[in-house]
Structure 1
Amino acid sequence: MSTKKINIIGLMSGTSLDGLDLVYVTFDKKSYENFEIQYSETIAYSKLWKEKLAKAIDKSDEELQELDLEYGKLLAKKVNSFIKKNRIINIDFIASHGHTVLHQPEKGITLQIGDGQTLANETQQKVVCDFRTQDVKLGGQGAPLVPIGDEFLFHQYDTCLNLGGFANVSFKEQNKRIAFDICPVNIVLNYYVNTLGFDYDNKGKIASTGIINTKLLEELNSLNYYKTKPPKSLGLEWVQSTIIPLIDDKNLEIKDVLATFMEHVAIQIAASTKKCKNIFITGGGVFNEFLIKRINHHSNLEMIIPNSQIVNYKEALIFAFLGLLRVDNQVNCLSSVTGAKKDHSSGVIFTS
């Protein structure tokens, strides 16, 4: 691939189930940071698909194989609509994160559904996907993968923080990129606010009316995960087995759960970034004004929030970039981040 400009469609589906993020981005291969997101869109999941993805963790291997193919067809349908809507002609390939169903790297398990061959066949495009499996096989966490993008595309910032289903952070330490999942965020907040009939807590308004439960806050902050040094990562399984029971045991009003958990998130983010000077923040949590206020309260960082397109689509953008590195057989997984045996180029390539 010797051309200077490369055009990629990047796909990202996060654990918070906000929807499918799509970007059509052009990279300058001589200078990666000179990228341009031409088109971007978030397509919300139907109620049926939200339920399917939320409950996928409990399915059998055979059922997961069926869901993998079915979800691949859904991705293809959404991509084809995106291409048609924006009249996109030049596409070098599609890079898809898929949707994470299982993530237990300590057991050698990670699964992102969205069958690559189905996606390639239905779109008639080359597809790069399954970015995490190889890293886990090499003894790594398979996550986070976004830091390679921080290294090349956003290196001017001291620290990069993403506030999505989980909060993850990336920074340079002794000339090495270090990154890890800090704590759950929207995956927990949305779970509880859904019981009130809302998709999310708009600007954190409900949480702002709650009272912090000091007992729950102390128990959350005392969890062993926060004492573990990176590389480390989190999955839905840990949230379901550890966080949810801890919260439910207290029988609190939802507003108090939200207030307490946001305080927990703010404290953990402050603790994980105390050596940093400035912080570049992206992800849906940026729009939670109360959460940002609490993070600011607990830290002395200069907070930099980019334009809404980068806030919303940074991960889809970076998975497009991961695909670019994989197609060119360049390193896209850093051992200093994931703990794998070596740096490597991860992802499986499918052609129609």
Structure 2
Amino acid sequence: MSGTSLDGLDLVCCTIEQQNDVYSYTIIASKEVPYTPEWKKKLSTAPGLSAIELLHLHNEYGTWLGEQTKLFIHEKDLKIDAVSSHGHTVHHLPDSGLTFQLGSGQHIANACQHRVICDFRTLDVALCGQGAPLVPIGDELLFSTYNFCLNLGGIANVSFKQNEKRIAYDIGIANMLLNYLSEKQGEAYDQAGESAKSGQINQTLLEQLNKIEYYKKNFPKSTGYEWFAAEIIPLIEQTKDSIPNLLHTSVHHIADQIAAELLRHQTKKTSTVLVTGGGAFNTFLIDTLQKKAGHDIRLKVPNNELITCKEALVFALMGMRRLEGKVNCLRSVTGAKRDSCSGVIYQPA
């Protein structure tokens, strides 16, 4: 799994078992591979590449993913059935029928010499869905004891049950904004939110961010880097203030939007929220969100391995269900014409 926050590649090896329609999992091994400055630059500039340049990078990144997978397998002495790869989202414009995840499945398969399941979003988008979020199938089958599952990646998304159907959507911006600001002061990210905590709210910027049109849209909805670049970066760049103040304001904005959605969909007196993704390590963000959500919504931050590996774990589940020919993409989440069994299978050459 590679997320829009551009921090690195998450690898997980797991077993998934099913007994009487109840799924369980065991994480056998996991690894984080931080992106080198070179790879971070390649991925961050990929949206502006020409078609030919993008296809070259698609193959190159696929080979790199396969090499990292092969190394992981040998390092941990793993026996595996298949590799399930999300890739790295470069373009996501579902309203135009377009989505593209970098990382050629054939090149992954050739490099690691195992069958690969990838390209999980295209089918849903072709069925007029948002192609995102996809993780809610895992929330439904592996983490249904929680009332909400919140992922704080580059984008914040949420999943919950409503009228016996799984609902999920992208709430809005999260680490993509915080990391963008942190890089301006020479840091990949704001450790535990300490820099943000030291700042103060810029009320004008906060009001501008909270008024962004996307937040008014009803679900199903999803977003990505293009939206961030078009709607949020200009507001940040035109605001003359210190980085700590901009980070502090951004944390409050993120928490405002997430808390509003949790409270809007709360149906029980006390609700539990499983919080994963890199933002779960941002103590200031978690504390700010908890204050805004109130005592009746209880944020549950799990162990570090699950925080970082949950999305990769769910894509393993999706890959397994693709091999079994079972539904792994829910129309109730994406708004597609029907549920689907998504993913393309590649055999090593």
TM over 0.5: yes
| 2:228 alignment partner in structure 1 | 239
| 2:104 alignment partner in structure 1 | 115
| 1:279 alignment partner in structure 2 | 273
Of the three residues 28, 34, 40, the one matched with 1:38 is 28
Question: Using the alignment, how far apart are the partners of 2:285 and 2:156 within structure 1?
Answer: 12
Q: String of CA shifts for 1:194-244, please: whole Å, max 9, x gaps.
A: 111111101111011111111111111111111110000011000001100
Matched, 1:327 2:323: yes
Q: Give the match's secondary structure for 1:36.
A: strand
| 2:303 alignment partner in structure 1 | 307
Q: String of CA shifts for 1:129-158, please: whole Å, max 9, x gaps.
A: 000011111100100000000000001111
Q: Give the match's secondary structure for 1:196.
A: coil
| 2:38 alignment partner in structure 1 | 48
Of the three residues 184, 202, 205, the one matched with 1:195 is 184
Residue 260 of structure 1: CA displacement? 0.5
Of the three residues 203, 206, 209, the one matched with 1:220 is 209
Question: Using the alignment, how far apart are the partners of 1:138 and 1:159 within structure 2?
Answer: 26
| 1:59 alignment partner in structure 2 | 49
Residue 250 of structure 1: CA displacement? 1.3
| 1:336 alignment partner in structure 2 | 332
Computed over aligned residues only, the root mean square deviation of the Cα atoms, in angstroms, reads 0.9
| 2:62 alignment partner in structure 1 | 72
Q: How does 1:257-272 map to 2 (within 5 A)?
A: 257-272=246-261
Matched, 1:149 2:138: yes
Of the three residues 277, 286, 290, the one matched with 2:284 is 290
Of 311-320 and 116-125, the range deviating more from structure 2: 116-125
TM-score (ref. length: structure 2)? 0.96
- The AA in structure 2 aligned to 1:87 is D
Question: Using the alignment, how far apart are the partners of 1:47 and 1:176 within structure 2?
Answer: 42
Of the three residues 18, 28, 31, the one matched with 1:29 is 18
The number of residues matched between the two structures is 340
Matched, 1:167 2:163: no
Question: Using the alignment, how far apart are the partners of 1:210 and 1:308 within structure 2?
Answer: 27
- Residue identity over aligned pairs, in percent, reads 49
Question: Using the alignment, how far apart are the partners of 2:7 and 2:23 within structure 1?
Answer: 27
| 2:93 alignment partner in structure 1 | 104
Residue 32 of structure 1: CA displacement? 5.3
Question: Using the alignment, how far apart are the partners of 1:227 and 1:190 within structure 2?
Answer: 25
Matched, 1:181 2:170: yes
Q: For the Cα contact (< 8 Å) 1:33–1:154, is it kept in 2? A: no
Q: For the Cα contact (< 8 Å) 1:126–1:350, is it kept in 2? A: yes
Q: For the Cα contact (< 8 Å) 1:162–1:282, is it kept in 2? A: yes
TM-score (ref. length: structure 1)? 0.95
Residue 33 of structure 1: CA displacement? 3.2
Q: Give the match's secondary structure for 1:29.
A: strand
Q: Give the match's secondary structure for 1:177.
A: strand
Could you tell me which runs of 5 or more consecutive residues in structure 2 were left unpaired when the two chains were aligned.
Answer: none
Of 26-35 and 43-52, the range deviating more from structure 2: 26-35
- The AA in structure 2 aligned to 1:68 is H
